[in-house]
Chains A and B, each alone.
Chain A
Amino acid sequence: MSDTITAPSTLFRFATAGSVDDGKSTLVGRLLHDSKAILADQLEAVARTSAERGFGAGTGFDFALLTDGLRAEREQGITIDVAYRYFSTGARSFILADCPGHVQYTRNMVTGATTADAVVVLIDARKGVLEQTRRHLSVVALLRVPHVIVAVNKIDLLGYDRGAFEQVAAEVRRVTGELGLDGVHVLPVSALEGDNIVERSANTAWYDGPALLELLESLPSHDELDTEYDPFRLSVQLVLRPQGGFAPDVADDPQRAETFRDYRAFAGRIGSGRVRVGDRVTVFPSGIETAVTGIDQAGASLDEAVAPQSVALRLADEIDAARGAVIAAAGTLPEARREFEAELFQLDPRPLAPGTRVLVKHGTTTVQGLVASIDAKRDLDTLEHVPATSLEVNDIGRATIRVAADLPLEPYGENRHAGSFLVIHPSDGRTLAAGITEQ
């Protein structure tokens, strides 16, 4: 037993999506329950509340109560904000973001999707693809979430009918095809009854694909997919110069302390790729090329490090670099830009119009910016760009942004970290929009 407990597992993050009431929270509760991640006291509390509310005529169990943790959510029976839940199965630990379906809380769904390795989009089999389903699928497509799973839910209410499933599945394939999503997995489930959630169900003998959990256990995560081939990038968070005093293990050893007297290293998290001691790197914004002489991780010196590790890099030359600098594999940084086109997800109720002054947060820098123009927005039925002069809340659209200092932006499709940014209100600090750069 202790072997399986301490055996290293890998981490996989996924989020739910789909229209309101399609069964996301129920599915999450079912997944947690059937993978034995719910402990006795939690189960008891849910059973009590389910009974008090007369769920399922007294015998039922409202699985959604396992994640709908806010009072307002339980009272209204909807999800308002993302709930993060955790479970593990042998080789994998899962971080699960249960997102709200309601259009008013789209910003919270975007929150859950930005870090996801996979998104499970739920569809009520009786209703098919709804407007909000399309919106979520577009978000997922634009954010290039590595894996998309569409769970056609409530199949129990249609007598586990194959024809009904096939009909929805065909509609799903048409829409995801239009969106350019490939490799989409479509499966029939009943979140309430537990069909095809953890195990394949006898009720859908005609379905020969994997159950949801089998898929989640086998798909590679974003980091597993990318680190190998992506060029190395590290955004400098801060420069470590232990002038305020040394850590105790260094301070207690005068000889050691002496060797650290001139220590200077660039601390940050590897955004993509890998780095080895001896590698040539280019430092943005100076453009100076140098070599990596050390990779430190709290006392340990590493020969190499990979995304998403947090490390401190020592460089061969004395370079003037501070927070906001980017250290990259030599010769791989694109030209820095002061003006760029981006796709924006408008998250704030105040519309975004040309001429709006904003802050742009990218990597570890925040710079002044200006919305130069709003170029188009997406029609959610066709997903085509249509003319627009401003972006309203929940709109996804294209804008041109000018910034006051060079930003090392890269196409989001090539590099998630280097291609994403926040648009922030300069005085109240609220996040107005999430942005991704295009080619």
Chain B
Amino acid sequence: MTDVLTATPARALDTLEVLEAEAIHIIREVVAEFERPVLLFSGGKDSVVVLHLAAKAFWPGRVPFPVLHVDTGHNFPEVLAFRDDTVERLGLRLEVALVQEYLDDGRLQERPDGTRNPLQTQPLLDAIAAGRHDAVFGGARRDEDKARAKERIISLRDEFGQWDPRNQRPELWSLYNGRHTPGQHVRAFPISNWTELDVWSYIEREGIELPPLYYAHEREVFRRDGMWRAVGEVSPPRPDEPVELRTVRYRTVGDMSCTGAVESDAADVTAVVREVAQSTLTERGATRADDRISEAAMEDRKKDGYF
């Protein structure tokens, strides 16, 4: 025993190393215990990081599950291109659920405010059922929102995809209990404990590629609800909203019609890490019009089966 006691202490793992180890452990647990997992992959930074972690978890093999994209039809073209490149590079199967199809055949109606984020729930649940997926990986983080701050890492959904925040299973140590009855599934959030800054620091450390709109670039934008909105087919400016050329970047990517850009000259990952560390607004507060509607917007959507 004495040689152990006198050994030089190993360097303590740093925060990112511990978070990475936790995430890989979760991903492996889910793959080991579930039949048909799938990863929600939008090309957004959080899902890119989860996919990167999955690739590390199973190296030198390939990621042993497909990815699913719920496509609002309101996409940034560069994000779609990034999605397709990534899937191809990693040799993954891509499942796509199209919100547009639901609008076309009347199963869903366009909302008066034009945003399609809340419309993703039904296509998502149908895609989970069609793929018979019993576990769905997501890139949600608890620091994003008050309701997300309450969710378990392995979170049970009933047959209707609903989350019951008042009746969650206890989650003890790192013993995840994902047992479920037919029809139920779980959502698994490997980066629950990461902050926006952790995600960016990890992207920097690992040299992870992202869609270019996360970095400062010039874009035609107009001001709405206190945010810069991109000029695009699905999000035209109104006559009283003058279009300007600004240097902006995105902190989140989602439905193009309601995701705002922030003014920034952070053109590379190091600059973004610095900017995020000094930010005075949360990423959702700064960039998501739909989350500003009410204090409980996210909780209500999650109860219905949203990500």
Contacts and interface: CB of A to CB of B under 8 A. Distances in A.
Interface of A: 1-2, 5-6, 8-11, 39-42, 45, 49, 67, 69-72, 74, 80-86, 88, 93, 95, 107-108, 110-111, 114-115, 223-224, 227-229, 237-238, 240-248, 250-251, 260, 263, 267-269, 274, 296-299, 304, 306, 308-310, 323, 347, 359, 361-362, 364, 416-417, 420-422, 424, 427-431, 434
A238 B299 contact: no
Contacts of A298: 55-57, 59
Interface stretch (B26-34, B73-81, B254-262): B26-34
Contact of A40 (B15, B16, B195, B281): B281
A272 B28 CA distance: 18
Given A6-B273, A115-B174, 4 more contacts: A1-B277, A45-B295, A49-B295, A420-B173
Contacts of B175: 361-362, 420-422
B179 interface: yes
B21 to A, nearest CB: 4
Contact of A1 (B22, B274, B285): B274
B204 to A, nearest CB: 8
Given A306-B10, A424-B179, A248 B91 contact: yes
Interface string B175-204: 101011100000000001101011001001
A429 B14 contact: no
A388 to B, nearest CB: 21
Contact of A228 (B7, B64, B172): B7
Q: Which of A10, A247, A268, A417 has its CB near the most chain B CB atoms (within 10 A)? A: A247
A70 to B, nearest CB: 5
8 contacts: A5-B273, A70-B147, A81-B165, A111-B171, A229-B4, A240-B61, A242-B62, A362-B175
Interface of B: 4-5, 7, 9-10, 12-22, 24-25, 28-29, 31-32, 55-62, 64, 89-91, 142-143, 145-147, 149-150, 165-166, 168-175, 177, 179-181, 192-193, 195, 197-198, 201, 204, 270, 273-274, 277-282, 285-286, 295-296, 299
A6 B201 contact: yes
Contacts of B280: 39-40
A238 B32 contact: yes
A411 to B, nearest CB: 15
Given A86-B195, A111-B171, A229-B4, A237 B29 contact: yes
A107 B167 CA distance: 10
Contacts of A361: 175, 177
Secondary structure call for the A interface? mixed
B12 A10 contact: yes
A224 B15 CA distance: 12
Contacts of A237: 25, 28-29, 32
Contacts of A84: 142, 149-150, 192-193
Contacts of A11: 13-15, 18-19
- 6 closest A-B pairs by CB: A69-B146, A429-B179, A41-B285, A242-B61, A8-B14, A298-B56
Given A71-B299, A308-B22, A41 B286 contact: yes
Contact of B169 (A247, A310, A364, A431): A431
A246 B60 contact: yes
Nearest to A240: B61
A42 B282 contact: yes
A110 B172 contact: yes
Given A70-B150, A70-B299, A247 B173 contact: no
Contacts of A299: 56, 59-60
Contacts of B277: 1, 5
B28 A69 contact: no
A9 B18 CA distance: 10
Contacts of B4: 228-229
A24 to B, nearest CB: 15
Nearest to A10: B12
A214 B234 CA distance: 51
Nearest to A237: B28
Contacts of A240: 58-61
B263 to A, nearest CB: 16
Nearest to A416: B173
A39 B279 contact: yes
Nearest to A40: B280
A424 B32 contact: no
